[in-house]
C-alpha cells in the first residue's frame, strides 16, 4: 500500500503536466512532480522542509516519474 498519492494540477505557465504529491494519511502536500527543462525530464520538488521519505515512498515517486517519461516517448 502506498503512503503517497499523486494528483494532476493545472500548470500555470508551462505546456507540460504537473502533479502534487500528497500524504495519504494527513493529506499534507509533500511536493510536486514537474518538468525540469535542463535535464529534459520530470523531477520531484519537495515543498515541505524537513520532510522524511522512506524507501517505499521514494520508490513510488521514482516509478511515477518513470511512467510519465515513458508516456512522453
pLDDT in tens, 8-67: 998 777 788 999 999 999 899 999 999 999 999 999 999 988 888 999 999 999 999 999
Residue 15 φ/ψ region, left for φ over 0, alpha for ψ in the -120 to 50 degree band, beta for the rest: alpha
Name the CA dihedral angle for 50, 54, 60, 62, rounded to a multiple of 10 degrees.
70
| pLDDT score of 1 | 67
Name the CA dihedral angle for 27, 29, 31, 32, rounded to a multiple of 10 degrees.
80
The residues spanned by each domain of the chain are 4-72
pLDDT in tens, 17-32: 999 999 999 899 999 9
Amino acid at each position: 500500500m502506498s503512503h503517497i498519492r499523486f494528483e494532476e494540477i493545472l500548470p500555470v505557465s508551462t505546456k507540460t503536466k504537473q502533479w502534487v504529491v500528497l500524504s495519504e494519511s494527513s493529506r499534507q502536500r509533500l511536493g510536486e512532480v514537474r518538468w525540469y527543462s535542463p535535464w529534459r525530464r520530470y523531477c520531484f520538488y519537495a515543498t515541505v522542509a524537513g520532510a522524511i521519505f522512506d524507501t517505499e515512498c521514494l520508490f513510488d515517486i521514482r516509478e511515477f516519474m518513470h511512467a510519465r517519461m515513458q508516456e512522453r516517448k
